[in-house]
Structure 1
Amino acid sequence: MKDVKQRKILPYFLIGVVLFYIGHVLVKRYSYAPNFDSDFLGLNKIEWIYQHVMDYPLIDLTFTTPSISVGMLCFSMSLLAYLRVKREGIYRYGEEHGSAKYATYQELKAFEDKVEEYNMIFTEKARMGLINQRLPYEKQLNKTVAVIGAPGSGKTFTFVKPNALQGFGSYIFTDTKGLLVRELGHFYEEKGYQIKIFDLITFLNSDRFNVFNYMTKETDIDRVVDTIVTVTKKSENQGEDFWIQAEALLARALIGYLYFDSQLSGYTATLPMVTDLIRHLRREHPEVKSPVEILFEDLEKALPGNYACKQWDLFNKNFDGDTRKSVLAIIASRFSVFDHDDVRVLLEDDTMAIETWNTTKTAVFINMPENNESYQFISALLLTTVFETCIKTSDAILNGTLLVDLLHLQIFADEFAQIGKIPHLSKYLAVIRNREISMKMILQSLHQLDVVYGKDEAKVILDTCDTLLYLGSNNKDTLEYVSFRAGKGTIQDSNQSETRSQHGSTSTQHSKLARDVLTVHEVATIGVDEALLIMAKQNIFRDKKAHVKYHKHASLLSSSPHDDKWYRYVRYMNAIEEFKANVETENLIELNEEEIEEMEL
């Protein structure tokens, strides 16, 4: 049974006594006042009482019947207040149907860092400090952001570039046009950044990435295989899993072989070498071992019980005949992309130095093709390696084993869907917040996330984002989500009715209604220059978009190949290119044998 909390009677009794005495004194004073002519209402007596209030003692315990009657009437007012009916329940006046509303600038200002360069820029007014230790505890959110904007909504111009010009920590940019490095390179060069370019559009004039340089333990073999297989997977058909698992088993054996053998033999392993091994998997004669079989036997002798040979042994024991041939055909098809000379050159050496990206100010530009998914696995593999490597570096610094300053690393993943599926992304996003790493996923709609990662995983990924910046979209799911997150508020409703007749009348009725702060239609039709900002545990904020031309470093940004700030760079793809570029040419004279003999004479 629910206990009902009773009012305390003593305060009401004391107030009643005071009111009783006041009523008694006023009646006594009124009786002392002289009679005035033409004073039907007694106003002159009241004025007299006011003028002579100090002529009589304040303590008067001589009671009369009228004074007691009026005093008891005053006392009863306090008694009625005590006995009044109290409605049970919880009341939220003005919030009966919802408490949602627009956030104010003052509410969001508490999330800013006092040093402007230490902030992320969301809108014209909204900022968020990147270093949680510099913010109040209750304002510490993770820095992972989902940015949603349809083509032409200004994702690069109003979000990527303004934040890029902050020049705080290190940056990674994905770019489908290859222009960001040209436009921002001069700025970063002026700021003393090391600049890395990884070009998957032309495969030329690029830094190079060899994943084997970042494989420090045998579990990294699984990570590399998982990334390649996941990104190049063509469908979600459950029947395909058997072949994927079989192929992954063989891929782990081959990549593992290169990992262990390169350490034993002292050469640099590369992913294209896997293709070379695949070519020599089949036996030319049933009784003659293939070259790869011999290689694994030699590795087992040199390093007994190693992981690669265990995977190779499992594959051989469980797959033979037509099944084995099918698996070999599948893996050959998947790794055939490494047969391109440009791809081989890009992946055979490493100039990225990923381990320095969160200790040395670095700007990384990953150029990705807009309409070719063949090389998505390379960009996904690079980002997976970035997560693993930079997390290790962060942990070493935080644990005190590496005594250098830890920089915040921001990943601006523009056209996020073009990167391909990054395995275990939600898990990475959940752990990087404590390692001073953050990701800004830039999408055209929430539906893109569903397509790449599936609805369930997409929801988990979105849950890891404490901030969502909406720049405009036509996608129904996106519009509904933003409207839902904006919430419902309580509004006043006024209805007027009029009756026209011989005895006409009008009436007005007031009530309170629930209303979406932003309906789906209103989300879809915000101004072209407007943005909606949703931060965890905050109301939605509506503001003008940020504008890069108003940034204090905007003068260092290039906008055309014709200005002197257009960044021009050279990256040598091999030693021959570098040699030719650094050796001056001379005039050469061609001589035949007879002319040479004449010269000798």
Structure 2
Amino acid sequence: MIGASGVGKTAFFLYPNMEYACASGMSFLALDTKGDLARNYGAVALQHYGYKVAVIDLRNPTRSDGYNLLTLINRYMDICREQPSNLAARAKAEKYAKILAKTIINPEGDAGNYGQNQFFYDSAEGLLTAVVLLLAEYLPPTEEAPQERRHIVSVFKLVQDLLAPSKTAKGKNGFQVMMDSLPDTHKARWFAGAALNSAEQAMASVMSTVLSRLNAFLDSELEQVLCFDSAIDAEAFASQKSAIFLVLPEEDPSKNFMAGLMIQTLSRELFSVADENGGKLPNRVVLFCDELGTMPAFDILPLFSAGRSRKLTLVPIIQSLAQLEKNYGKEGAEIIVDNTQDTIFGGFAPNSQTAEVLSKALGSRTVMSGSVSKGGGKDSASRSLQMMERPLMTPDELKSIPKGQFVVMKTGTHPMQTRLRLFLDWGISFGDPYLLPERAARTVAYASKQELEQAIFRCHHAQPAESDTPPAPPVPPKTPAARGGASYAQARRTRREPPPPVVVRTDGGQE
């Protein structure tokens, strides 16, 4: 969907399509820059269609549901802790940890773009995966500490603390000492192997890379969202009727990265769910990405190429094609446009360059043209006709399309100009707005390095090693008579201790 501000993208397009999604039972995610979608359609989806609704409100975090990036990792690690032989649960936890690490470290999708620094970013992925797995495995809520500490801010705190030099092992930092305390077959050691086997300065650079990527999550308001369990995770989103509204503040673009992170993480988790269900999601999913052009670039191309076959549809809504070219480059913008099956546009500004591009995309048609000339005589007029080519719609004609009129281009069909009906014409009306109750600022619990070290020690070093051989009965001490009488005791008294060793100095003397 392409249209300038104020042409009615929400009223003519988004509202009717969200109504259709609710009526057909599809799960959907909607980016909401104004908050209107959440207020209006949150109530409709919940009350009239029985949807499970979650609102991630970054403008008012105290009125937001939680969105813990480690929710699925924590869940499967808890299952694995209760059932140590459940290999599938551990494999899923590791898979979701790798997805999260890749999304955070390489949001653009390809570490090869970093050139000579590729090693540091690849190693940072493995190190972040290792820390996430350790946090999820060893620090679950307990009776002494019932509040959840396993979240992305705790990951930052752990990496920062483990970067400091160790007080017990000279020449090692805290992370190396912690990895040495794990069993040789623990996967966390393997994920962090590239960093552990590098030079001291290189390893510090890897950990600093992780810290720099996690620095964006350090926000007291964001903590009210990121440090509490998610209301809807990817597996529930794909199997149940669910609606997620992500409210982004237009006045604070520093939080826009959360949109790309959420879409990228959710889509990769949905791909994983689809692969476990025969290559298709249990329920069709639609991502309504309003104002996508204002979001930072992320790895969006797999959503077009791999999403459709898995029953995942992306609906990007932008103001201009130049926004795509600015964020994804000329080639990236062309790939996105080429993989779009349906394009709807209208309502261009008077000086819009996008109208010229789309006029060429519409193609041309053959029309009859002619000329009439008239001489001085009474019957000296002449007329000539000819067939000529002209654009189907010129840029000027596109710019003069009235509000509510749009041009639709669909793969395999001819383009058409049509009128999209206003949502009121469809009988759509809104009642009471969907509002979450105001919550006071919740206290956030963080994990510490000491707690993690103690948990690892209790798990792997506090218990004695098991043996199949039963212990031998204690042997009573022997008396001197039993050892051979007085002669034995006398021999013990006359035994001499070995002489002290001789220390040879380099100057040839003896001490």
TM-score, structure 1 as length reference: 0.62
Q: Report the AA paired with residue 185 of structure 1.
A: G
Report the counterpart of residue 200 of structure 1 in structure 2: 58
Q: Secondary structure of 1:158's match?
A: helix
User: Is this contact kept in 1: 2:3–2:346, CA < 8 A?
Assistant: yes
Report the counterpart of residue 40 of structure 2 in structure 1: 183
User: Is this contact kept in 2: 1:231–1:377, CA < 8 A?
Assistant: no
User: Is this contact kept in 2: 1:300–1:309, CA < 8 A?
Assistant: no
Structure 1 residues 371-382: aligned runs within 5 Å: 371-382=251-262
Report the counterpart of residue 411 of structure 1 in structure 2: 287
Q: Report the AA paired with residue 37 of structure 2.
A: L
- Quote the sequence identity (%): 21
Q: Report the AA paired with residue 516 of structure 1.
A: P
Structure 1 residues 262-281: aligned runs within 5 Å: 262-263=136-137, 266=140, 269-280=150-161, 281=163
Residue 441 in 1 paired to residue 320 in 2?
no
Report the counterpart of residue 487 of structure 1 in structure 2: 363
Deviates more, 1:255-264 or 1:391-400: 391-400
1:399-458 CA-to-partner distances (Å, cap 9, x unmatched) read 79xxxx9332211111112443232x2222222212222111000011111112111112
1:299-358 CA-to-partner distances (Å, cap 9, x unmatched) read 3546168432313224x33x62xx666665554344233333332342223322321223
**How far apart are the structure 2 equivalents of 1:455 and 1:373?**
23
Q: Report the AA paired with residue 390 of structure 2.
A: R
Task: Name the count of aligned residue pairs.
Answer: 410
User: Is this contact kept in 2: 1:257–1:308, CA < 8 A?
Assistant: no
Which residue of 206, 219, 233 maps to 1:353?
Answer: 233
Structure 1 residues 98-247: aligned runs within 5 Å: 147-166=1-20, 167=22, 168=24, 169-190=26-47, 191-215=49-73, 216=92, 218-231=94-107, 241-243=115-117, 245-247=119-121
Q: Secondary structure of 1:550's match?
A: helix
Q: Secondary structure of 1:496's match?
A: strand
1:182-206 CA-to-partner distances (Å, cap 9, x unmatched) read 1112211222111111122222222
1:508-534 CA-to-partner distances (Å, cap 9, x unmatched) read 111111111111221122112311111
Structure 1 residues 290-329: aligned runs within 5 Å: 290-301=173-184, 303=186, 306-314=189-197, 316-317=198-199, 320=201, 329=208
Report the counterpart of residue 220 of structure 2 in structure 1: 341
Shift of 1:487: 1.0
Structure 1 residues 476 and 290: CA distance shift in structure 2, 3 A: same
Residue 526 in 1 paired to residue 384 in 2?
no
Report the counterpart of residue 10 of structure 1 in structure 2: none
Which residue of 544, 549, 554 maps to 2:424?
Answer: 549
1:461-515 CA-to-partner distances (Å, cap 9, x unmatched) read 12221100002234754212321121111111121111115x8612111111111
**How far apart are the structure 2 equivalents of 1:241 and 1:287?**
34
**How far apart are the structure 1 equivalents of 2:175 and 2:203?**
15
User: Is this contact kept in 2: 1:354–1:386, CA < 8 A?
Assistant: yes
Structure 1 residues 237 and 250: CA distance shift in structure 2, 3 A: closer
Residue 255 in 1 paired to residue 129 in 2?
yes
1:270-308 CA-to-partner distances (Å, cap 9, x unmatched) read 211222123220327793533222222223546168432
User: Is this contact kept in 1: 2:103–2:265, CA < 8 A?
Assistant: no
Report the counterpart of residue 437 of structure 2 in structure 1: 570
User: Is this contact kept in 2: 1:210–1:270, CA < 8 A?
Assistant: yes
User: Is this contact kept in 2: 1:380–1:422, CA < 8 A?
Assistant: yes
Structure 1 residues 478 and 399: CA distance shift in structure 2, 3 A: closer
Structure 1 residues 177 and 301: CA distance shift in structure 2, 3 A: same
Report the counterpart of residue 287 of structure 1 in structure 2: 170
Which structure is larger by alpha-carbon Rg, 1 or 2? 1
> RMSD in angstroms over aligned alpha carbons?
3.2
Shift of 1:241: 4.6
**How far apart are the structure 2 equivalents of 1:520 and 1:350?**
47
User: Is this contact kept in 2: 1:214–1:385, CA < 8 A?
Assistant: no
Structure 1 residues 158 and 245: CA distance shift in structure 2, 3 A: farther
User: Is this contact kept in 1: 2:341–2:410, CA < 8 A?
Assistant: yes
TM-score, structure 2 as length reference: 0.72
Q: Secondary structure of 1:174's match?
A: strand
**How far apart are the structure 2 equivalents of 1:304 and 1:446?**
45
Report the counterpart of residue 410 of structure 2 in structure 1: 535
- Specify every segment of 5 or more residues in structure 1 that has no aligned partner in the other structure, as ranges: 1-146, 559-564, 578-601
**How far apart are the structure 2 equivalents of 1:341 and 1:259?**
24
**How far apart are the structure 1 equivalents of 2:107 and 2:187?**
33
**How far apart are the structure 2 equivalents of 1:481 and 1:473?**
12
Structure 1 residues 311 and 208: CA distance shift in structure 2, 3 A: farther
Structure 1 residues 372 and 243: CA distance shift in structure 2, 3 A: farther
